[in-house]
Amino acid sequence: MSILINESTRLIVQGITGRDGGFHTQKMKAYGTNVVGGTSPGKGGTEVLGIPVFNTVYEAVEKTQANTSIIFVPARFAADAIKEAADAGIGLIICISEGMPTLDVIDAYRFVQMKGAMLIGPNCPGLMSPGKSLVGILPAQIFKQGNIGVISRSGTLTYEVVYHLTANGMGQSSAIGMGGDPVVGLYFRELLEMLQNDPETEAIVMIGEIGGNAEEQAAEYVKNHVTKPVVGFIAGQAAPPGKQMGHAGAIISGGGGTAAEKIAAMEAAGIKVAKEPSEIPAMLKAAMK
């Protein structure tokens, strides 16, 4: 098994008639993901790539029994899109939209939790279960089915690490890009628990970056609850304090959130931390012996 998505995933695409929604729907469908419908207000009754389009998520769920949604809508509409999906009974919501106001994310995520659903993102690349399902914008050609779980705050670093793993003959069980905003849905702790409980995952790669204290909390969780080998990497090791580097959440403030602090916490928890992404496969092989 993999975590969160697999062959039984029934996906709807919110914003399927837009440029990005249509482009990535084609990629996901070509990979084999079961895209059962899409939504675009006012365009219900049409089709995109042979996929039915509905005016609302409620109608899409009723007609297709969808259980997962991916959101490609402008940032100002994304909070409402997230809440509509959760209210319609979608269990897993992936929000690709970038630039959502933090207060909008907080409001939408509280609603998602109240409805008992799960949110990945916003501002994330989505997730991949190689050989089973792709829900997001990840480049399918670099992935290989295997037993390494990958969780990351950075989309492009996810791709780089997966490329190195595949090039070294190490396939992936699941790969999840959580998003780099100050507030997102599922984060390190929840995903570490899922990978720890996944019998197909034998080792875990955890990719973090400067800003916040999520990696420190994750290290504490690994120390107390994770029995599988974990290798980490922290981006932003040369970032000056007080300067945002890339993601909205990647900022060192108040003397906390530095790369050095995160690396120290991870190493204290028994996590091997790579200096460069290319070192990760060798470190994993050594840890898995």
Taking the C-alpha atoms of residue 149 and residue 203, their distance in angstroms, rounded to an integer, is 6
Percent of the chain clearing pLDDT 70 (strictly above): 93
Please report which confidence band the pLDDT of residue 1 belongs to, taking 50, 70 and 90 as the band edges. Answer: low
Instruction: Give the residue-averaged pLDDT of 146-166.
Output: 96
Instruction: Give the residue-averaged pLDDT of 222-230.
Output: 97
Catalytic, 24? Answer: no
Residues near 42 by beta carbon (within 8 Å), at least 6 away in sequence: 55
| Per-residue pLDDT tens digits for 3-38 | 999 999 999 999 999 999 999 999 999 999 999 999
Q: Does residue 75 have a pLDDT over 80?
A: yes
Q: Does residue 283 have a pLDDT over 70?
A: yes
Q: Does residue 245 have a pLDDT over 60?
A: no
Q: Which of 201, 190, 272 is nearest to 225 (CA)?
A: 190
Please report which confidence band the pLDDT of residue 211 belongs to, taking 50, 70 and 90 as the band edges. Answer: confident
- Report the predicted TM-score, pTM, of the whole model to 2 decimal places: 0.93
Q: What does the mean pLDDT of the chain come to?
A: 93
Instruction: Give the residue-averaged pLDDT of 94-114.
Output: 97
- What are the structural domains, with CATH classification, of the chain? 11-120 (3.40.50.720), 139-287 (3.40.50.261)
Taking the C-alpha atoms of residue 184 and residue 162, their distance in angstroms, rounded to an integer, is 22
Instruction: Give the residue-averaged pLDDT of 166-178.
Output: 98
Q: Does residue 244 have a pLDDT over 90?
A: no
Residue 205, SS3? strand
Residue 231, SS3? strand
Which of left, alpha, beta for 161 (phi over 0: left; psi -120 to 50: alpha)?
Answer: alpha
Backbone angles phi, psi at 95, to 5 degrees: -105, 110
In the numeric block, the tokens 């931390």 are attached to 273
Q: How far is CA 187 from CA 218, 224, 283, in A?
A: 9, 17, 24
| Per-residue pLDDT tens digits for 120-143 | 999 999 999 999 999 999 999 999
Q: How far is CA 80 from CA 62, 109, 186, 227, in A?
A: 19, 11, 19, 39
* CB contact at 8 A, 247 and 154: yes
Which of 24, 164, 225, 247 is catalytic? The answer is: 247
- CB burial class (10 A; 0-12, 13-18, 19+) of residue 65? exposed
Percent of the chain clearing pLDDT 90 (strictly above): 86
Please give the pLDDT value at position 180.
Answer: 85
Helices (H) and strands (E) in the chain, counts: 9, 14
Q: Does residue 254 have a pLDDT over 60?
A: no
Please report which confidence band the pLDDT of residue 248 belongs to, taking 50, 70 and 90 as the band edges. Answer: low
